[in-house]
Structure 1
């Protein structure tokens, strides 16, 4: 369970990016965060894993207060938070297996990390997960030889190698074509169920959010103004979340049935 209470993030003397934000994410759930650019979506995710330092408030992950940790305690806590990035964040010159095994860096001694001498149990787990997402046959291929969808699957497996208690995905489909985007969203939904993981996804594509997640959180100017099931995301709610944003920039790409036909072709 992730519990966020009264979270504030302010840069210098500027207006707060996050304003007294409260959110709970239970286990085995897939939650989408939507909102216009500047709403605070990415900042929220980066506060959770402390890539951005919160100004005040509480972030509790399964009984551990993340905002008070530092040094070794923070490094240990970060092992429990898997992060999937829009830009993949792979090391291009390394193989798929080497990139995947980097998810174990927080668990092995420095000498093993430097020599890439990982335990056989880690290698076996990497193959198992790569087989699950359909990239095991690329194990010895360089990361820069893969397509965008394949690279994102590597990023997903790398995050899972951390044995995380929560997955955070920051615009995981923004760099992908529509068909591949939907495949990645389907994969995240399936993994949340199979591994009993909460998944929190910052996503621009509202249509995908409505089809592949169980709950949608709408943000505007650093506050949560909508929090409900996808069927409750009416046009009025959309207009409030995206007030002033042109329709073509709201991430609505058509009805799910028509998109499903595209994917099946």
Structure 2
């Protein structure tokens, strides 16, 4: 379970990007984060794996307080946080297998990674996962020979190779065509069930959020102003999130109590 309490992120002396944010996510739950650009969605994801350092607050993943970890502890914790990026973040000149195996860099001895001497178990696991997402036949192809959807599947497998306890996805469909976007969202939802993973997705496409996620969190100006099941995202809620009614500006919302029960 992921539990975020009173999270604040401030850059310099300006207004906080995240303002006393509270959020809990249970296993096997796919949560989408929506909101206008600048709402704090990407900053939230980056605070979780400390690509961005929180100013204050608590982030606990399965009993581990992430915000107080030293460098060595953070390296260990990041092995359990899978990340899927909008821009794929692949090494184009490397093969699909080599890109996938980079998900094991936090575990492998340095010499194995440099020499590309991957353990047989890691190779077997990689083939299993690549077969699962439909890219096993591309194992020996260079990453820059793949389509956008295929590249994103490589990114998903790379994250799963970490054996993560949570999967974070930052705009994973933004660079894809509509059909491929739906396939990737379906894949993320299915993998959450298969691996009992909480999945947190930063997404602009509200239609996909409603169709493929279990819960929608709406942010505006660094605050959560909506937290409910997808069917509750009606026109009024959309106006609050994207237009900013007075209630939204005050950060008022009524979360679905079932989520608190599920996360406890």
- Using the TM superposition, give the Cα deviation of residue 52 of structure 1 relative to its aligned residue in structure 2, in angstroms: 0.2
1:1-265 correspondence to structure 2 within 5 Å: 1-243=1-243
**Mapped partners of 2:6, 2:207: distance in 1:** 29
* SS of equivalent residue, structure 1 residue 33: strand
- Counterpart of 2:250 in structure 1 is none
CA deviation after TM superposition for structure 1 residue 234, in Å: 1.0
Segments of structure 1 that go 5 or more residues without pairing to the other structure are: 245-265
1:219 deviates by 0.1
TM-score in terms of structure 1 length: 0.92
1:166, distance to aligned residue in structure 2 (A): 0.2
Shift of 1:126: 0.2
Match of 2:256 in 1: none
**Deviations along 1:98-151, whole A, 9 cap, x unmatched?**
000000000111111111111000000000000000000000000000000000
Q: 1:40-94: CA deviations, max 9, x gaps?
A: 0000000000000000000000000000012111000000000000000000000
Unaligned runs of 5+ in 2: 245-264
Aligned length: 245
Q: How far apart in 2 are the matches of 1:47 and 1:145?
A: 33
Q: What SS does the aligned partner of 1:7 have?
A: strand
1:210-235 residue CA offsets vs partner (Å, 9 max, x unmatched): 00000000000000000000001110
RMSD (CA atoms): 0.9
Runs of 4+ in 1 over 4 A off after TM superposition: none
Offset of residue 205 of structure 1:
0.2
1:83 alignment partner, SS class: strand
